[in-house]
Chain A
Amino acid sequence: MTSEQKRTLALYYCQNVPASGERERQDLEEKYGRGIRLFTVPCSGRLEPIHLLLALEEFADVVFIITCPEGVCRYSEGNKRAKKRVEKTRAIIASIGLEVERIGMIIGSKENPISLADHARAAMERTLKLPPSPVHN
């Protein structure tokens, strides 16, 4: 078992993230196995705190959201909304003593677009810096 597999990362990503098609998704699932659960969303603004909370409650050690860059959201405000919801959810988990770092957010860059695989690597690195979640242990 690789060190990645000792944690589970729930990765929600906007469908406009570069190189995030079905094939790339399968590659990631193969690479990280049970260490990653991928959820594509039509727009990160559709994500609600309950999605993040349920992932943390049910299986995830860490949850990450990857949005399209600010200013290029196809639904105009989606990524801004996602940011506020992440903040709200962080406040909720902090209130029960769970580290706020268990909810991460990466806002894509317009000038320097990054593929889903690279985002996943960065998110996984940050996931591994945290101990397993006390919710599941």
Chain B
Amino acid sequence: MITGEQKPIDEIREMIAPYKRILVLGCASCVAECAAGGEKETAMLASTLRMAAKMKGEDVLIEEKTLDRQCVRDFVILLDDIIEKYDAVLSLGCGAGVQAVAEMFTEVPIIPAINTEFLGETRDQGYWVESCLGCGDCMLHHFGGICPVARCSKQLLNGPCGGSMDGRCEINPDVKCAWHLIVDRLTKFGALDRLENIYPPKDWSRKQGGGPRKIVREDQQK
């Protein structure tokens, strides 16, 4: 899932200041799971902005809507009937959602209300952790399902640095050392010898070496 966090309200107010009719647009997928931009958060932000406007005597229309998925055109098209009513859209989608709306509705400014953070997992209620960098060449099978690229602070591929202590990363004792986890897990599987291999430096051309990436699947097309 893609995670994000809402921007400070002052920053949002500054970005929407030039506009008088604003649609606050949520997304019911990833950003709902991380409680940043789902239906609830969209309603909260819209209500907060309306109150702030009333307190300052500003004459603005602020309404809200949440799409099932803001990064999928089949859902974004649902704005077609209503978008003319607004002179700006304040999106709580991730960066991909914001851009999908911007690309379909070129006449209306789209403003991001959240900072998109990382690809991660929900570890517990109210607790999300980064777990993948989308490197384009997954190596998890070598490392017992624990990603050293995303979870080792130094992205080391050939064992821990010298700073690992009591299972904690030297950058911060709150962070588990990915390599400690990898060694524990491979030991459990009796597969520690996998670490005899020397892994060459990662080939980052699979990430963004060729510019923005795309996936084309003819079997999925019309």
Contact = CB atoms under 8 A, between A and B. Distances in A.
B48 interface: yes
A48 B41 CA distance: 10
A56 interface: yes
B10 interface: yes
Nearest to B126: A84
A1 interface: no
B115 interface: no
Contacts of B50: 57
Contact of B48 (A48, A92, A134): A92
B55 A95 contact: no
A135 B47 CA distance: 11
Given A95-B9, A95-B10, A96-B9, A50 B47 contact: yes
A73 interface: no
A53 B40 contact: no
Contacts of A49: 44
Chain B: interface secondary structure?
Answer: helix
Interface residues of A, number: 16
Interface string A69-110: 000000000000000000000001101111000000000000
A76 to B, nearest CB: 14
B73 interface: no
A96 B51 contact: yes
A69 B9 CA distance: 34
Interface in B197-216: none
Interface of A: 48-50, 53-54, 56-57, 92-93, 95-98, 134-136
Given A92-B44, A93-B48, A96-B51, 18 more contacts: A48-B40, A50-B40, A50-B44, A50-B47, A53-B44, A53-B47, A54-B47, A57-B50, A95-B8, A95-B9, A95-B48, A96-B48, A96-B52, A97-B55, A98-B55, A134-B55, A135-B51, A135-B54
